[in-house]
């Protein structure tokens, strides 16, 4: 296997207390942001204004988005109706419907003087996702945390299972707080990114947990702390290589993919960085302290 650093001997568990302090501060800040500032809901959750226009000649969605950007609507949802030159433009901004329609039509006339268009409809739209469905989505994410923890519990060790669930909560809370802090909208793609983070984070934890299990069988006389340290070092190159490759790709999407995919890429970048971090300094650190305070009885041969 390709290795970035051959045979590292870093004392990861020796720095776990600093990880606790760092994560504790971040979690406090994250929860304060989520509770007091709250998320900025996109049109899928909050509803908004809708303008439906039909052009006489073909026009690109990117060109329309560039036009809307001049009136501060870069985050507006633009949908082309299949096989037509008709576009449905939705905005979640807290503005009057008539004002949004007038500004949109006026700017489109300026930017497309040779391409006549007509207004098909303008209306206030209801959220695509109701409050009940939003609540059910939250419950589903929490259930996923519990089920992933149970899987790790039975697959490897109950301590890794419980600590994995805590680390997933840690990753999601900090990612959501980053979205709140930067004023990014919560949309369906962002929710998809959050669910992706859960899968990626638990995958990294499974890799380390599997290596710990293998090393426990080989070195039953060693303390669990030393075995975990050894396992993290052995998987360190794999973690850095795979993580950096994915994050580099996401940075390309963030800077080159345009505003439509920027929030999705940003969410994944933050979540994956903390997912990689938490696999070691949350899961492994908590398991190490758990063993030191409440040692697990070793089975006699």
Domains of the chain: 13-41+130-293 (1.20.1640.10), 48-125 (3.30.70.3400)
Instruction: Report how far residue 73's alpha carbon sits from residue 170's, in angstroms, rounded to the nearest whole number.
Output: 33
Q: What is the token pair recorded at 147?
A: 């089920």
- Give pLDDT, residue 1: 45
pLDDT averages per 10-residue partition of the chain, 301 residues: 60 87 95 90 74 90 89 82 83 73 90 89 70 72 78 78 86 94 86 86 83 84 85 84 89 84 92 90 87 69 43
- Give pLDDT, residue 2: 47
- Give pLDDT, residue 26: 95
- Give pLDDT, residue 173: 93
- Give pLDDT, residue 179: 94
∠ CA 130-132-134 to the nearest 5 degrees? 70
C-alpha distances (whole Å) from 64 to each of 71, 85, 159, 171 are 12, 12, 53, 36
């Amino acid at each position: 296997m390709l290795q970035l650093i051959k045979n590292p001997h870093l004392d990861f568990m020796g720095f776990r207390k600093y990880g606790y302090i760092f994560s504790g501060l971040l979690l406090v800040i994250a929860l304060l942001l989520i509770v007091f500032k709250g998320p900025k809901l996109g049109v899928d959750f909050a509803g908004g204004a809708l303008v439906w226009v039909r052009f006489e000649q073909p026009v690109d969605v990117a060109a329309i988005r560039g036009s809307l950007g001049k009136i501060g609507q870069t985050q507006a949802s633009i949908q082309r109706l299949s096989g037509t030159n008709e576009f449905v433009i939705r905005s979640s901004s807290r503005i009057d419907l008539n004002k949004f329609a007038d500004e949109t039509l006026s700017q489109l006339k300026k930017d497309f003087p040779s391409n006549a268009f007509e207004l098909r409809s303008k209306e206030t739209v209801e959220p695509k996702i109701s409050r009940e469905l939003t609540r059910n989505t939250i419950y589903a994410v929490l259930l996923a945390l519990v089920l992933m923890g149970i899987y790790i519990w039975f697959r490897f060790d109950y301590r890794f299972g419980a600590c994995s669930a805590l680390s997933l909560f840690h990753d999601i809370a900090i990612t959501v707080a980053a979205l709140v802090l930067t004023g990014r909208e919560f949309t369906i793609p962002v929710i998809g990114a959050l669910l992706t983070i859960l899968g990626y984070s638990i995958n990294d934890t499974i890799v380390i947990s599997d290596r710990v299990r293998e090393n426990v069988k080989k070195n039953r006389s060693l303390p669990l702390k030393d075995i975990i340290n050894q396992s993290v070092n052995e998987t360190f190159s794999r973690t850095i290589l795979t993580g950096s490759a994915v994050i580099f790709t996401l940075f390309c999407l963030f800077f080159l993919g345009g505003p439509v995919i920027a929030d999705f890429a940003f969410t994944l970048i933050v979540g994956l960085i903390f997912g990689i971090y938490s696999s070691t300094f949350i899961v492994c650190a908590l398991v190490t302290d758990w063993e030191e305070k409440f040692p697990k009885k070793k089975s006699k041969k």
